[in-house]
Amino acid sequence: MSRNRTAGLNFDGRVAVVTGAGRGLGRAYALLLAQRGATVVVNDTGAGLTGDGLHEDPAERVAAEIRDAGGAAVACTASVATPEGGEAIIGAALERYERVDILIHNAGNVRRAPLREMSSEDFDAVLDVHLRGAFHVVRAAFGAMCDAGYGRIVLTSSIGGIYGNADVANYAAAKAGVIGLSNVAALEGAAHGVRCNVVVPAAVTRMAEGIDTSAYPPMEPDLVAPLVGWLAHESCSVTGEVLIALAGRVARAALVESPGVYQPSWTIEDVDARIEAIRDVTEPVSFPVVPDGHAAHIRYSFGMAQTDGTQ
């Protein structure tokens, strides 16, 4: 790796925290930001795929790789799964560099089981890292970012979080929850120069263990990292959005609704009779998170009632 001082989008003077950065996607994010001039806190517990076991080596290896290439990096092995760990991870940036400009929450684990067999322990263990972990690091960084008037937060969801997937109810629930957390951070950060978005990445890493990937097209972490780099950059022009990077395809995912059907009163039979019209999304409506998607949604529904559904 060599530091890349192109005339393009660089991160000189920025301090970035990347969780789960010891391997796979997180490593690719950390290296790219460092190549472009960022100082990086490389966070990784070194745990196994299920989240068990702690090893300092992965985080320190990536931090050393950055330093050997002339960059600035420090390793942190605290766990995102606890409030204290979240504070320690962000504290590694604030105490050493006195700022945190970028937070990328990438840490993850997997515990597979059919829904009818999944234990509460396995459900919680995955939520602890993916969803509660996101909250722990966002909560620790958010105040400092707002006070500084600048911040870029990138949280990680998945196509399983959007569409579901068999045998990973814990993972799907956590990844769906991350989107809600991101929306609130985007809303509350908007007035303070803090932008928060979600990346839905796909790459062949150890998280794909047990899956036959032999027929997959190229799906290396380096195909995802540029999108995350843009979301982490000061030029990022969006907030409260979900962007996908999978096998070279970059896209936006958005929640849409059908226009809906208004009646002043309803029966079960009415719903049955009009369900196709209710579900018709040929002319979808959407409500961007920022500036006021929640209120815009209510205004839209109220408007139909106030105009007797003829708007």
User: DSSP labels for 22-80?
Assistant: TSHHHHHHHHHHHHTT-EEEEE-----TTS----SHHHHHHHHHHHHTT--EEEE---T
| The predicted structure's pLDDT at residue 303 | 94
Q: How far is residue 105's CA from residue 182's CA, in Å, rounded to a whole number?
A: 11
Mean pLDDT calculated for residue range 196-221: 79
Q: How far is residue 125's CA from residue 71's CA, in Å, rounded to a whole number?
A: 34
Confidence of residue 5 (pLDDT cuts 50, 70, 90): low
Residues annotated as catalytic are 171
Mean pLDDT calculated for residue range 25-53: 91
Q: What is the 3-state secondary structure (H, E, C) of 6-28?
A: CCCCCCCCCEEEEECCCCHHHHH
For a pLDDT cut of 90, what percent of the chain falls above it? 87
Mean pLDDT calculated for residue range 17-23: 97
CATH class of 15-253: alpha beta
Confidence of residue 47 (pLDDT cuts 50, 70, 90): confident
- Give the mean pLDDT of the chain: 93
How confident is the model over 154-189, as pLDDT tens digits? 999 999 999 999 999 999 999 999 999 999 999 999
Decide: helix, strand or coil at residue 201.
strand
Mean pLDDT calculated for residue range 68-81: 98
Contact 41, 92 (CB under 8 A): yes
What pTM was estimated for this model as a whole?
Answer: 0.93
Confidence of residue 22 (pLDDT cuts 50, 70, 90): very high
For a pLDDT cut of 70, what percent of the chain falls above it? 91
Q: How far is residue 199's CA from residue 204's CA, in Å, rounded to a whole number?
A: 16
Mean pLDDT calculated for residue range 288-306: 95
> Of the candidates 90, 86, 205, which has an alpha carbon nearest to the alpha carbon of residue 134?
86
| The predicted structure's pLDDT at residue 207 | 63
How confident is the model over 209-224, as pLDDT tens digits? 666 676 778 879 999 9
Q: How far is residue 247's CA from residue 219's CA, in Å, rounded to a whole number?
A: 5
| The predicted structure's pLDDT at residue 1 | 47
Contact 159, 203 (CB under 8 A): no
How confident is the model over 108-146, as pLDDT tens digits? 999 999 999 999 999 999 999 999 999 999 999 999 999
Label residue 242 left, alpha or beta by phi (over 0 means left) and psi (-120 to 50 means alpha).
Answer: beta
Mean pLDDT calculated for residue range 28-47: 97
| Ranges of each domain in the chain | 15-253, 255-311
| The predicted structure's pLDDT at residue 311 | 42
Confidence of residue 73 (pLDDT cuts 50, 70, 90): very high
Decide: helix, strand or coil at residue 237.
coil
Q: How far is residue 34's CA from residue 15's CA, in Å, rounded to a whole number?
A: 10
Mean pLDDT calculated for residue range 270-286: 98
One-letter amino acid for residue 301 of the chain = S
Better pLDDT: 220 or 54: 220
Q: In terms of residues, how long is the chain? A: 311
